Amino acid sequence: MEDKISLEDNRFRLSSLSEKETAKIVGISKECRGDNRRRLLDLGFVKGADICIDLLSPLNNPKAYLIKGTSIALRNSQASHILIQKNHHYAG
Amino acid sequence: MQDEKITNACDTCSHFNADGLKKLGVNTDNFDFVIALAGNPNTGKSTVFNALTGLKQHTGNWPGKTVVRAEGAFEYNDQKYKLVDLPGTYSLLSTSQDEEVARDFILFGKPNVTIIVVDANRLERNLNLVLQILEITDKAVLCLNLMDEAKRNMIDIDERTLARDLGIPVVPTSARFNSGIPELIQTVSDVANGKIICKPHIVKNIPDNIKKAVEKLSTEIKVQFPEIPNSRWIAFRLLEGDESIINALRKNEFV
């Protein structure tokens, strides 16, 4: 079944999230530190938050993500620091 | 002369004017209190500002509209209040250039009362900034704005518990329709005059070693700069190596 595949080590970078998927944030990667890390946390990218794509730009970079009720645009280089767990989508 | 300019219907309404409110527009001389308006981007700070001062500071439904601070004034019960509208910010810690305006004013401008405007629809996201502001100042009022929208979205907020947990007064408003503004003015005036004493929530679960370092630094800061009201917060920033705070201390901007 579809959800069985996604159960295996379900960890991705936010930059790999596609338009129709939803996910939960697992954390921010250790390679992102200091001010950049602080900034992402302040914008609401915290552990446990639900996230999905809100808007795409013509070149798919940056992308606007819907997080805690607000749309925040990130470059893919920033989004790649955010680790997510994709939600299962049941067929139907 | 300023009085003649006021032609808004609200000024003549008995409900709004009953307690001696006078919008003074840009006339900010000889004020008794300085009030700062802070909050996340796009929560309606400028709308609250206009409702209080009678000014027509440009408002718009997009974040990042206010990038410099705007000033106005109102008079309430024969006391003059200077109101400072700040750019929206998500945090006082990591700042972009316009957010720095907000942070510097809350830190160095020493407002008598800080009105923290939050979006009732996105309370969770807003509380981050609220707690950070409460670390710096204990004279604050939470303005729970966009209540009309929250009602439409079926969001119900337990204001009393929120006020108790945060330790500051909470006033629900819809600044766009002027609702809650009289209550907000009354609350701000009570806090400014010491009739309401705020006991803000302060984050307590700090590891022992950090706590000790902060206490040590904080006492030294108090010795060097006796006028700094928020030495604990400064100590935290110094430990983090916050450049702008270090520079501000060097240049003595806090006094």
How large is the ipTM?
0.81
* pTM across the whole model: 0.84
* A–B CB contacts, 8 A cutoff, strictly below: 24
DSSP B4: H
Structure tokens at B180: 């809650």
pLDDT of residue B36: 93
Instruction: Single out the residue of B11, A68, A77 nearest to residue B2, CA to CA.
Output: B11
Determine whether the interchain pair A42/B91 forms a contact, defined as Cβ–Cβ distance below 8 Å: yes
pLDDT digits 0-9 by tens, B190-230: 999 999 999 998 888 889 999 999 999 999 998 988 887 78
Q: How many Å lie between the alpha carbon of B125 and the closest alpha carbon of chain A?
A: 6
Residue B71: is it exposed, middle or buried by C-beta count within 10 angstroms (0-12/13-18/19+)?
middle
The answer as to whether A11 is a domain residue is: yes
Position of tokens 């108090």?
A: B222
Average pLDDT, chain A: 86
pLDDT digits 0-9 by tens, B9-57: 555 454 555 556 787 777 777 889 999 999 998 899 999 999 988 887 7
pLDDT of residue B37: 93
The answer as to whether A30 is a domain residue is: yes
Determine whether the interchain pair B125/A68 forms a contact, defined as Cβ–Cβ distance below 8 Å: yes
A6 pLDDT higher than 50: no
Average pLDDT value for residue range A22-35? 92
Q: How many Å lie between the alpha carbon of A73 and the closest alpha carbon of chain B?
A: 12
pLDDT digits 0-9 by tens, B63-115: 666 667 788 989 998 899 999 998 888 988 866 777 778 888 888 788 999 99
Enclosing domain of residue A9: 4-87
Instruction: Single out the residue of B238, B242, B216, B253 nearest to residue B91, CA to CA.
Output: B242
Average pLDDT value for residue range A62-76? 94
B113-133 residues labelled b (16+ CB within 10 A) or e (exposed)? bbbbbbbbbbbebbbbbbebb
Task: Name the CA dihedral angle for B38, B40, B41, B42, rounded to a multiple of 10 degrees.
Answer: -90
Q: CA A78, CA B206: separation in Å to the nearest integer?
A: 29
Give the range with max mean pLDDT: B53-57, B59-63, B169-173: B169-173
The total of structural domains in chain A comes to: 1
Of A35, A43, A69, the CB nearest to B90: A43
pLDDT digits 0-9 by tens, A39-57: 999 999 999 999 999 999 9
pLDDT of residue B117: 97
Average pLDDT value for residue range A54-75? 94
Q: Which chain A residue has its CA at the smallest distance from B40's CA?
A: A43
Structure tokens at B133: 């502001």
- Output phi, psi for A36, to 5 deg: -65, -40
Average pLDDT value for residue range B126-153? 93
Determine whether the interchain pair B122/A38 forms a contact, defined as Cβ–Cβ distance below 8 Å: no
Determine whether the interchain pair B121/A69 forms a contact, defined as Cβ–Cβ distance below 8 Å: yes
CATH at A53: 2.30.30.90
A8 pLDDT higher than 60: no
Q: Is the dihedral angle over the CA atoms A7, A13, A18, A19 positive or is it negative? A: positive
B138 pLDDT higher than 70: yes
Of A42, A44, A68, the CB nearest to B93: A42
The answer as to whether A92 is a domain residue is: no
Spell out the residues 6+ positions from residue B249 whose beta carbon is closer than 8 angstroms to its own. B225, B234, B238
Cβ(B141)–Cβ(B126) under 8 Å? no
**Mutant choice from A25, A70, A71, A72 vs B, greatest count of B C-beta within 10 A:** A70
